[in-house]
Structure 1
Amino acid sequence: MYNKLQYISQGESAEEQLYNIHEALDNGCDWIQMRFKNQKTKKTFALAEAVKFLCEEYLANFIINDDVHLAKQFNADGIHLGLSDMGIAEARAILGKTKIIGATANTFEDIVRQTNNGCDYIGLGPYQFTRTKDKLSPILGLEGYSSIIAQMKQSQIEVPVYAIGGITLEDVNNLMTTGIHGIAVSGIITKSDKKQQLITQLNEILYGSVII
């Protein structure tokens, strides 16, 4: 089964991205989604090369956001596709059957469409307001997750769902009660000055050994 904690990378430069990713890995995060939007090809290529090496060293999953051809080039573990990115069927044809394809959703209808197209997991959000992403979809909150997960159960859709969007440590326990599989976070880890403690706490809540 997929890890319950995903770190979505942050940083304005390739150097900053690499530093933040290394810090997340070094402090116990074992699923990295490299998100480096609107950058020159050379910089993105260099970053992907370095992140691939690091993820292999830490035995972590390496997922690339959006860029299917880059994921193929570096034999990444998979790709995460937004609602307006390349279609899942096309990505699957390029990457092959064994690679992980994650897909973004904001509504139950999105989930039905993405799972019918063959995605392996869903990033459902946003949970609340976040500055990490431009053009934010409507905020879901706890009620939104509970409602959508209930609809999924009714329709017997069993794809793992990750909550995403402005999640803090204090939110995680309540979010897990909605029936989600895990969380995808960026700012909470990037900005923490006690990353090891934070990632340990997050994993303890996500895997059910502690309640805050």
Structure 2
Amino acid sequence: MISKLHYITQQQPGFTHAMAAEAACRAGVDWLQLRVKGQPDAVWKDQALQTKAICRHYGCTFILNDNAALAAEVDADGVHLGQQDMPPVEARALLGPNKIIGGTANTFADIERLAAQGVDYIGLGPFRFTRTKQNLSPILGLEGYTALLRQCREAGILIPIIAIGGIEVSDLPQLLSTGVHGVAVSSAIAQATDRSDAVANFHHHISLNPAPSYETTTNS
């Protein structure tokens, strides 16, 4: 089952990624992606092992960003691959059939490519400008999601689509109405005054605005 709320760690002053993961899990997230950038391999592995232990303690799905080899080494629940990372088919051969593989998309061509390579979910974005990610792809906005999800339905692509990029709770009614399965957020939780309240608000509004019935989950 692919969660409807994905939390992505980010670098924050005074916080390691593992500390951010602990705070998010304690606040109620059930799906966490560890997003480490620009760090030595040893640091990346150490943060991955710490974060995995935290996620296991809280019963949270643990996804590692970019690095399928490290995901296999630390026995993460899965990996999320950017467009410049290992192709999903190679990651599947490395990780096996029971691990979760997600991929990043910005266009319908990206979605078709990822669907053909058997990903379990697709992170589609960005919804709006965000400082969390460098080298940002063209912003989609509500119109972009509406058009792309329509194309998915017409092509029979039913892989869960996760919207990402500067998303706030107030965006959920219109965003979920496009047909996306769920949303991925970082700052909206990490920088919230009360993280537990922020997570609860996301879960509440997602439950009030379920994705249309044509959405499906994977069999992984």
Scaled by the length of structure 1, what TM-score is found? 0.95
Give the C-alpha shift of residue 115 in structure 1: 0.5
Distance 2:79 2:45 in 1: 15
**CA deviation digits over 1:23-49, x for unaligned, max 9?**
110010010100001101111111111
How far is 1:205 from its partner?
Answer: 1.2
Q: Take 2:193 and 2:74, find their aligned partners in 1: how far apart are those partners? A: 31
1:70-113 deviation digits (Å, cap 9, x = unpaired): 10011111000011111011111100011100000001111001
Structure 2 contact 173–209 (Cα < 8 Å) conserved: no
Query: What letter matches 2:46 in structure 1?
Result: A
SS state at 1:76 partner: coil
Displacement of 1:169:
1.6
> Superposition pairs for residues 128-139 of structure 1, below 5 Å?
128-139=128-139
Q: In structure 2, what is the equivalent of residue 120 of structure 1?
A: 120
Over aligned residues, Cα RMSD in angstroms?
Answer: 1.5
Q: Is the 8 Å Cα contact of residues 66 and 79 (structure 2) preserved in structure 1?
A: yes
Q: Give the letter aligned to residue 72 of structure 2.
A: K
Q: Answer whether contact 1:152 1:158 (CA < 8 A) is retained.
A: yes
Aligned-pair identity in percent equals 43
Q: Once the two structures are superposed, what CA deviation does each residue of 1:139-194 show, in whole Å capped at 9, x if it has no partner?
A: 00001001100110001100000000011121122111111000011111110011
Structure 1 residue 12, shift from structure 2 partner: 5.3
- Whole-Å separation in 2 of the counterparts to 1:14 and 1:34: 17
Instruction: Name the counterpart of 1:33.
Output: 33
- Residue 73 of structure 1 is matched in structure 2 by 73
- Show the counterpart of 1:111: 111
Is the 1:14–1:44 Cα contact (8 Å) retained in structure 2? no
2:183 paired residue number = 183
Give the structure 1 partner of residue 171 of structure 2. Answer: 171
Q: Which amino acid aligns with 1:105?
A: A
Structure 1: distance between partners of 2:104 and 2:14? 24
Helix, strand or coil at the partner of 1:175: helix
Give yes or no for contact 1:160–1:181 (8 Å, CA) kept in 2: yes
In structure 2, the CA distance between the partners of 1:92 and 1:142, relative to structure 1 (3 Å rule), is same
Note if 1:42 corresponds to 2:42: yes
SS in 2 for 1:163: strand
Structure 2 contact 128–140 (Cα < 8 Å) conserved: yes
Offset of 1:207 from its aligned partner? Answer: 2.1
Q: What does residue 198 of structure 2 align with?
A: 198
Q: Displacement, 1:209?
A: 6.7
> Conserved in 2, the CA contact under 8 Å of 1:122 and 1:159?
yes
Task: Read off the aligned partner of 2:204 and give its amino acid letter.
Answer: E
Determine the C-alpha separation between the residues in 2 that align with 1:112 and 1:203. 29
Give the residue type in structure 1 aligned to 2:5.
L
The aligned residue for residue 149 of structure 1 is 149
Contact 1:78–1:100 under 8 Å retained in 2 = yes
Letter in 2 for 1:108: F
For the residue of structure 1 that corresponds to 2:16, the secondary structure is helix
Q: Which runs of 5+ in 2 are unaligned?
A: 211-220
Structure 1: segments with no counterpart, 5+ residues:
none
Tell me if structure 2 keeps the 8 A contact 1:149–1:179: yes
